[in-house]
């Protein structure tokens, strides 16, 4: 049995080299400053020691060159650290439209993962090597923190909002993942593994099983909750058009413009009164307590698919036309301000989103 422990985690992502370079630079700077201070202390103790009881030190005037040096040199070093750290940070959190979406739910005391194809995992995350992966994460209870040392990624997972992180694994293998935020009595047991696979092996794993695409499950839930009674996408609609909504600018009743990202969609589902879309009335009820975090991910995946694939909203089963139901639609709803036979243009539809 090999009992040797590596000094540093393995470098298994594209971010690892950047993070390590900055880390070693900080270690070198701190080590050199510590050594310099220690040497100066010893030198000053010897050079300026008191040699007799009657000795009086001579007066010392200001040394402007020395003062400029100990202000200017640390400023340069700190600015290098700042810009270098900003570069590493922005690279770690830069968005990629080609990223593989994986949805993560942290709960006491496990990690739950959902893949776009419907595959679900607990405490295991299968991902392909050489492809950017985007994790969209939420907590079902308390604050957790998703940490994979070998990938050099670390991100808090919070209740009531989404956090995201991007990374690209480079080496197939199995890597430890942890919760690095104390989250309760069994915090130390909230561990798992990230399994990086060759692209061909990953495709084979995807084909090995699934419960249906995440967006398809979201579509079924969308109809089950009667969201399609308001979000009909036609002249009878009581709520904004969802097709093309995701990540687009949305004008609110307050005059503010926001981006319809994951956090906005989540808030509109759970607290529809928070941001009312211009031209619509706040008649949608909340789904707080009716759906869990995994179902929220399914609904959001479905809304995102309406933008990506221009899919159509499911038909309304009621023959009498859409009515505000007790369970409402998935986003803020509208008062009918257009004539019954008027058909909004695509531009008008895109301008009135939740």
CA dist 289 to 111, 176, 271, 295, Å? 21, 33, 11, 11
CATH topology of domain 214-350: Cytochrome Bc1 Complex; Chain D, domain 2 (1.10.760)
User: pLDDT value at position 288?
Assistant: 81
The residue extents of the domains of the chain are: 100-206, 214-350
**For residues 87 and 347, which has the higher predicted lDDT (pLDDT)?**
87
CB 324 within 8 A of CB 333: yes
In the predicted model, what is the mean pLDDT of residues 282-311? 78
User: pLDDT value at position 43?
Assistant: 95
Would you say residue 208 has pLDDT above 70? no
Q: Could you count the other beta carbons within 10 Å of the beta carbon of residue 231?
A: 30
User: pLDDT value at position 18?
Assistant: 92
Q: Domain 100-206 is in which class?
A: mainly beta
Domain 214-350 in the same topology as domain 100-206: no
User: pLDDT value at position 29?
Assistant: 95
Rounded to 5 degrees, what are φ and ψ at 28? -65, -45
**For residues 231 and 258, which has the higher predicted lDDT (pLDDT)?**
258
Would you say residue 152 has pLDDT above 80? yes
In the predicted model, what is the mean pLDDT of residues 69-74? 92
Average pLDDT along the chain: 80
Would you say residue 9 has pLDDT above 60? yes
User: pLDDT value at position 256?
Assistant: 87
Per-residue pLDDT tens for 212-241?
677 788 888 888 888 877 777 666 667 787
Would you say residue 210 has pLDDT above 80? no
CA dist 222 to 100, 210, 230, 255, 298, Å? 23, 20, 11, 29, 9
Q: Could you count the other beta carbons within 10 Å of the beta carbon of residue 110?
A: 17
CA 184 to chain centre: 23
**For residues 328 and 215, which has the higher predicted lDDT (pLDDT)?**
215
**For residues 62 and 234, which has the higher predicted lDDT (pLDDT)?**
62
How far apart, in whole angstroms, are the C-alpha atoms of residue 243 and residue 331? 13
pTM above 0.85, yes or no: no
């Amino acid at each position: 049995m090999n009992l040797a422990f590596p000094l540093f985690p393995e470098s298994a992502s594209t971010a690892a080299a950047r993070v390590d370079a900055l880390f070693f630079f900080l270690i070198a700077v701190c080590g050199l400053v510590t050594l310099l201070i220690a040497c100066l202390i010893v030198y000053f103790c010897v050079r300026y020691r008191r040699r007799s009881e009657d000795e009086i030190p001579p007066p010392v005037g200001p040394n402007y060159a020395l003062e400029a040096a100990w202000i200017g040199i640390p400023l340069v070093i700190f600015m290098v650290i700042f810009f270098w750290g900003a570069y590493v940070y922005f690279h770690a959190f830069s968005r990629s439209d080609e990223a593989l979406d994986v949805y993560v739910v942290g709960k006491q005391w496990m990690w739950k993962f959902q893949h776009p194809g419907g595959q679900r995992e607990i405490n295991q995350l299968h991902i392909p090597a050489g492809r950017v992966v985007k994790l969209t994460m939420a907590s079902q209870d308390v604050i957790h923190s998703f940490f994979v040392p070998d990938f050099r990624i670390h991100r808090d997972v919070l209740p009531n909002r989404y956090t995201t992180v991007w990374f690209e694994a480079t080496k197939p293998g199995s890597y430890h993942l942890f919760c690095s935020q104390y989250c309760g009595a069994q915090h130390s047991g909230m561990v798992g593994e990230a399994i990086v696979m060759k692209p061909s092996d990953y495709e084979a794993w995807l084909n090995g099983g699934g419960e249906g695409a995440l967006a398809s499950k979201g579509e079924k839930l969308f109809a089950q909750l009667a969201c399609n009674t308001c979000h009909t996408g036609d002249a009878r609609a009581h709520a904004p058009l969802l097709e093309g909504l995701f990540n687009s600018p949305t004008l609110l009743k307050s005059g503010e413009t926001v981006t319809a990202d994951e956090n906005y969609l989540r808030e509109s589902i759970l607290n529809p009164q928070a941001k009312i879309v211009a031209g619509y009335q706040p008649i949608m009820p909340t789904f707080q307590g009716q759906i869990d975090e995994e179902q929220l991910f399914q609904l959001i995946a479905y809304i995102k698919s309406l933008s990506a694939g221009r899919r159509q909203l499911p038909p309304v089963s009621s023959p009498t036309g859409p009515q505000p139901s007790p369970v409402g639609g998935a986003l803020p709803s509208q008062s009918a301000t257009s004539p019954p036979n008027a058909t909004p243009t695509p531009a008008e539809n895109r301008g009135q989103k939740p």
